[in-house]
Structure 1
Amino acid sequence: MTAMAAFIIALSYGCSDTNNNRPVESKPTAPPAPAPEITGKWTKGDFHVHTVESDDAQDKLSVVLDEALLRYDLDWMALSNHLRLSKRDHDGVDLINGPLPFSLAMAQYEIPAVREMQAGGRYANKLIFSTFEWDMPTHDHINVGIFTGSPLSTSLDAAKQFEYYFTNRVASQFDSDDVARWDAAGTRAFTTHEDAVKAITWLRDNYPDTSYALINHPSRNNGKWSAADYRAFNDVAPNIVFAMEGMIGGQMEPDRGSYTTAYVDANRKNRVYGGVDYTVAQVGGVWDALLGDGRRFWNVGNSDHHFKIRGPYSSSYFPGEYARTYIWVDDKYTGVKGVLEGLRSGKMFSVYGDLINALDFHIGGDTTTTDMGGELKAKAGDTVSITIRFKSPDRNNYQYPIDSGISVNARPTVDHIDLIAGDVTPRAAPGTPNYSKDTNDSTRVIATFTAADWKLDKDGYNTITYKYVATTNQYFRLRGTNLGMNVPGATENGNPLPDQKTDVTQNDARFNAINARNYNNLWFYSNPVFVTVGS
């Protein structure tokens, strides 16, 4: 889905001259460089999915896979049950011999069940891989994927060793020969921040190119993460700790995202904004502080599925039903390798409620262009062109009443898109005040585009081009919404407001109110593109 420059309509906008991003008038330029050959495809998936093998989840494996891969047509999915004691098998049957460490339950039940179903052809051309959600000491949850082999697949031995080293599981629950081997190779560590660092270091030292650690719902619990923590873990293993779940799951909870911290101003950093974690939703906040360091640190969107509705309770949409992460997978990679390399590349975007289902966001100079996650090198004074192309589907999954099969049949419509920019400055050193700084004061919305600004191109994309003169190192990112600039209770001057609890007494009415809240407050966020300016 690389843009064809010949079909781009150049527009000029009367935006304020802030942050040195001065729009320039269109003028004749040299013929554009030929569009690069397309060597991959967009895929959609979810990194954070639970089944009944997690103690707080209710759906068996086959139900989750059917919903995610068949009904909602995801291309890939990471199963990520809790790295705790597992009391049930993949069908929800209590284990006869009592709870197992999850790494053992994964090996004995989850992975064999997936292989059996795939062998039967039920999920042909779909990628399913097993990871786990770890209770990181002194912090919060992190999804860990560890892979080996060719083609890559989940390393069961590594999962067992990780659980033994970095949780408080009883040694007698593991094979005695394994324990002897692990004890000879290292020591257990599962209590302090330093132990958390040791775990990430272990991943780096043993699986430097075939593992990841994705930070989940980062602001859900007060005091679990600081800006210095993000920087420190990224410094330890930039190829492993490089992404967070800014577009969180748990969207069917009355407290959107299950962010239950008291609704007071003091907790505004522990709230969600349009369903999005504060770290990502706040312009000039934590994410922008990391990008301002020049860190390649990405945002993803997940379901965090546990169950949708059970009795008087509601929790999470099914994978692919409401939240999706789109990742570009290069043709030279297949299977888990493709998703892992796509995730690392940063060429991806995340969306709620299918507000968009295609996005091409790239930045070009005189001879080259670069996509999300990439870096364009320019000279001071160069005119740089920012291109945004997007599509929306004819309808999304909004049903009323909820789960009735009756589609609302309302096409999701983008009201406006914000182009956000911030300066990239020299990276702060550990121990200095800037290492703990959780803001980027240079970040701001430099342009806002509405339907009056985009044109439909021959490929069916809504297309915008914005030009500016490069003067300093910067990054650019996008957010878009179906909401207007000032919607009571939802937006103020284009910025999302904190979501409020849906407090309706009657169960069915509450479920419908939650669903309506979510589908009437949709957002997408792109990953950034960097521009580095030389002399």
Structure 2
Amino acid sequence: MTFVVNKKQLGVAAIVTLLVASCQQVQTDLNTEQSKSWLAGDHHVHTHYSVKWDSSVFPPAPIIGGDAKYSTALNAQMAAHYGLSWMVVTDHGGPNRAKLALEQAYPELLASRKALPHILQFYGMEFDVPGNSPGGRHASFIMPYSATEAQQLYQIEHRYNGRQGVPPGPEKAEDAFMLLALKAMDALPDKPLLLANHPSRLATGFRQYHKITPQQLRDWQDAAPDVVIGMTGAEGHQAATLNADGSIKPNAIRAEYPHYPTMGGYDQMTARLGGVWDSLLSEGRRWWVTGVSDSHGHYTDGWADFWPGQYAKTYVYAEKDYDSIFAALKAGNIFVTTGDLIDALYVDVLVKNTDKTATLGETLLVSAEDELVLRVRFSDPDGPNGGGFKPQVQRVDIIQGVISGAVQNRSSDEAPDTKVTKRFYAGDWQTKHGYSEFELALGKVSQSGYLRLRGSNNKDELEPQADTKGENPWHDLWFYSNPVFIQLHTAGP
């Protein structure tokens, strides 16, 4: 920052004030990055305003607590207890949920924010995606923090939510109506974010997608690229295999995926190497994955869920304020973990002998002659996780893919060029100042691509396997980073 000062017009005190202000601004700029840290959160949390509806009266009447048990403040308290810095309230819709949310649920959120300011509480909803048979087609709809957040959400929910109306209008049975909804979201004064929830929960088999398909994901992002940013990877309802006393239900399905299971607790669209996620990334799409609780009620109360943050965490690299966290989510500076396998992850791709570098969600512009290096640091939490265990990372996989451009088949769910470049085991990294560290020479690149990381407490399970009935979720833990993009710059004629 530079000040041009006319000393004839300003006294000494004023000049000193300006110089001090200049120094303070420079120090603020320097401290901005230093004040950032990895902040854990959960963008899919239900409160007792996720209601059921009494259809014996007209219009249908809400039954508070019908499909989720706890108040906003209790969810926030427990989220903070399990190490979260932020969460998003995402109650789902219904015949007249928009009015209920505006008049009852939102005031409760405001009260919870005031009572528990140490955990940042975003306003959102579980958006019922319009289209044929909307059941199971859900997305986390997250509003940025603002004085008009409730009115803006109401505007979208009242007009476009798939279950809103008595009955919902016939136009809401068409997939095209979702594209109109996304354009309306994109036109809001404060653009929200949208992530597809449990995208393969109703898949009829492996690579047999139902309700949400790869084509729809592409269509949604193309309609509103500043709004649609990704999907959940680590799914909710992970305590479905636990009895109230913590013992195992031998025939229960982890994460409540009825037809084809999760893979290491993650949706097959994320977990399958060279699958849907990699297919989207190989187009150059900024498509992020996250982890959530989808908490309706705790397993000790006879439900299927963990508390927010007890099992899955979405980490963003941000300052602890609403704007910074929202920006980090949008930018993809994110990693996700289950069971507190790690609590910090620094991934840097750099050009050797320069100061050019990029991290998660960012793009590194390189030439064909540049030598690239990957540097990784991660840390394990000091204490036990939400299950009382202290898991250790046994392996970290470096995954690289090629950016080949837009696909001709918009239903494509494969990226055959995506490979595990290198597997690192516990003996391959060093521990310094509480961090495990390793480095990998990537060499020169001949085409644009991306790099992402995956790690596990299972040394020998080289690829995530389909979860079996009665599986203990605490024994099968994974983390995933979002990608770093590498763009090859070719000199023009």
Residue of structure 2 in register with 1:354 after alignment = 340
Partner deviation per Cα, 1:380-408 (whole Å, 9 max, x = no partner): 13210111100001333344xxxxxxx4x
Q: Is 2:122 the partner of 1:129?
A: yes
Residue of structure 2 in register with 1:73 after alignment = 83
Residue 466 (structure 1) aligned to one of 436, 440, 448: 440
Asked whether the 8 Å contact 1:77–1:128 carries over to 2, the reply is yes
Q: Is 2:464 the partner of 1:496?
A: yes
Partner deviation per Cα, 1:213-237 (whole Å, 9 max, x = no partner): 1100010012112222111111111
Residue of structure 2 in register with 1:344 after alignment = 330
CA distance in 2, matches of 1:395, 1:521: 18
Q: Secondary structure at the match of 1:233?
A: helix
Q: Which has the higher contact order (CA 8 A, sep 6+)?
A: 1
Residue of structure 2 in register with 1:397 after alignment = 385
CA distance in 2, matches of 1:453, 1:159: 52
Structure 1 stretches (4+) deviating beyond 4 angstroms? 34-37
Q: Secondary structure at the match of 2:391?
A: coil
Residue of structure 2 in register with 1:329 after alignment = 318
Residue 102 (structure 2) aligned to one of 107, 126, 129: 107
Q: Secondary structure at the match of 2:428?
A: coil
Asked whether the 8 Å contact 1:423–1:472 carries over to 2, the reply is yes
Residue 186 (structure 2) aligned to one of 193, 204, 207: 204
Residues 527, 277 of structure 1: CA spacing in aligned structure 2 closer, same or farther, 3 A cutoff?
same
Residue of structure 1 in register with 2:235 after alignment = 248
CA distance in 2, matches of 1:36, 1:424: 32
Residue 415 (structure 1) aligned to one of 386, 394, 403: 394
Asked whether the 8 Å contact 1:415–1:450 carries over to 2, the reply is yes
Counterparts of 1:149-188 in structure 2, within 5 Å, are: 149=146, 154-170=149-165
Instruction: Report how far residue 250 of structure 1 moved.
Output: 0.8
Residue of structure 2 in register with 1:146 after alignment = 143
Partner deviation per Cα, 1:480-518 (whole Å, 9 max, x = no partner): 000021xxxxx3xx101100111xxxxxxxxxxx5xx11
Residue of structure 2 in register with 1:380 after alignment = 368
Which residue identity lines up with residue 73 of structure 1 in the other structure? G
Instruction: Report how far residue 377 of structure 1 moved.
Output: 1.0
Residue 289 (structure 1) aligned to one of 279, 298, 305: 279
Q: Secondary structure at the match of 1:496?
A: coil
Q: Is 2:201 the partner of 1:220?
A: yes
Residues 145, 118 of structure 1: CA spacing in aligned structure 2 closer, same or farther, 3 A cutoff?
closer
Residue of structure 1 in register with 2:452 after alignment = 477
Which stretch shows the higher mean deviation, 34-43 or 383-392?
A: 34-43
Q: Secondary structure at the match of 1:234?
A: helix
Which residue identity lines up with residue 328 of structure 1 in the other structure? Y
Which residue identity lines up with residue 367 of structure 1 in the other structure? D
TM-score normalized with structure 2 length: 0.81
Asked whether the 8 Å contact 1:353–1:396 carries over to 2, the reply is no
Residue of structure 1 in register with 2:489 after alignment = 534
Residues 310, 108 of structure 1: CA spacing in aligned structure 2 closer, same or farther, 3 A cutoff?
farther
Q: Is 2:56 the partner of 1:45?
A: no
Q: Secondary structure at the match of 2:377?
A: strand
Residues 192, 427 of structure 1: CA spacing in aligned structure 2 closer, same or farther, 3 A cutoff?
same
CA distance in 1, matches of 2:35, 2:453: 24
Instruction: Report how far residue 148 of structure 1 moved.
Output: 6.8
Partner deviation per Cα, 1:232-282 (whole Å, 9 max, x = no partner): 111111111111001111101131111011xxxxxxxx4210100001100
Q: Mind listing any 5+ residue stretches in structure 2 that lack a counterpart?
A: 1-29, 52-66, 204-209, 241-251
Instruction: Report how far residue 338 of structure 1 moved.
Output: 2.0
CA distance in 2, matches of 1:257, 1:170: 30
Partner deviation per Cα, 1:51-79 (whole Å, 9 max, x = no partner): 1111321223332222112x213111101
Q: Mind listing any 5+ residue stretches in structure 1 that lack a counterpart?
A: 1-33, 86-100, 174-186, 262-269, 400-406, 486-490, 503-513
CA distance in 1, matches of 2:99, 2:275: 40
Q: C-alpha root-mean-square deviation of aligned residues, in Å?
A: 2.4
Residue of structure 1 in register with 2:261 after alignment = 271
Which residue identity lines up with residue 441 of structure 2 in the other structure? K
Asked whether the 8 Å contact 1:83–1:163 carries over to 2, the reply is no
Which residue identity lines up with residue 473 of structure 2 in the other structure? N
Which residue identity lines up with residue 196 of structure 1 in the other structure? M
Residue of structure 2 in register with 1:509 after alignment = none
Which residue identity lines up with residue 350 of structure 2 in the other structure? G
Residue 295 (structure 2) aligned to one of 299, 305, 327: 305
Residues 111, 281 of structure 1: CA spacing in aligned structure 2 closer, same or farther, 3 A cutoff?
same
CA distance in 2, matches of 1:130, 1:452: 44
CA distance in 2, matches of 1:452, 1:418: 14
CA distance in 1, matches of 2:116, 2:184: 34
CA distance in 2, matches of 1:68, 1:392: 19
CA distance in 1, matches of 2:172, 2:167: 17
Q: Secondary structure at the match of 1:225?
A: coil
CA distance in 1, matches of 2:144, 2:196: 18
Residues 114, 168 of structure 1: CA spacing in aligned structure 2 closer, same or farther, 3 A cutoff?
closer
Residue 234 (structure 1) aligned to one of 194, 214, 221: 221
CA distance in 1, matches of 2:348, 2:32: 12
Instruction: Report how far residue 147 of structure 1 moved.
Output: 4.2
Which residue identity lines up with residue 465 of structure 1 in the other structure? E
Instruction: Report how far residue 438 of structure 1 moved.
Output: 0.9
CA distance in 1, matches of 2:313, 2:324: 17
Residue of structure 2 in register with 1:23 after alignment = none
Residues 52, 37 of structure 1: CA spacing in aligned structure 2 closer, same or farther, 3 A cutoff?
closer
Residue of structure 2 in register with 1:6 after alignment = none
CA distance in 2, matches of 1:245, 1:522: 16
Q: Secondary structure at the match of 1:283?
A: coil
Residue 260 (structure 1) aligned to one of 254, 258, 263: 258
Residues 161, 421 of structure 1: CA spacing in aligned structure 2 closer, same or farther, 3 A cutoff?
closer
Aligned length: 422
Instruction: Report how far residue 328 of structure 1 moved.
Output: 1.2
CA distance in 2, matches of 1:275, 1:168: 29
Q: Secondary structure at the match of 2:91?
A: strand
Counterparts of 1:14-33 in structure 2, within 5 Å, are: none
Residues 35, 293 of structure 1: CA spacing in aligned structure 2 closer, same or farther, 3 A cutoff?
farther
Asked whether the 8 Å contact 1:129–1:153 carries over to 2, the reply is no
Residue of structure 2 in register with 1:453 after alignment = 428
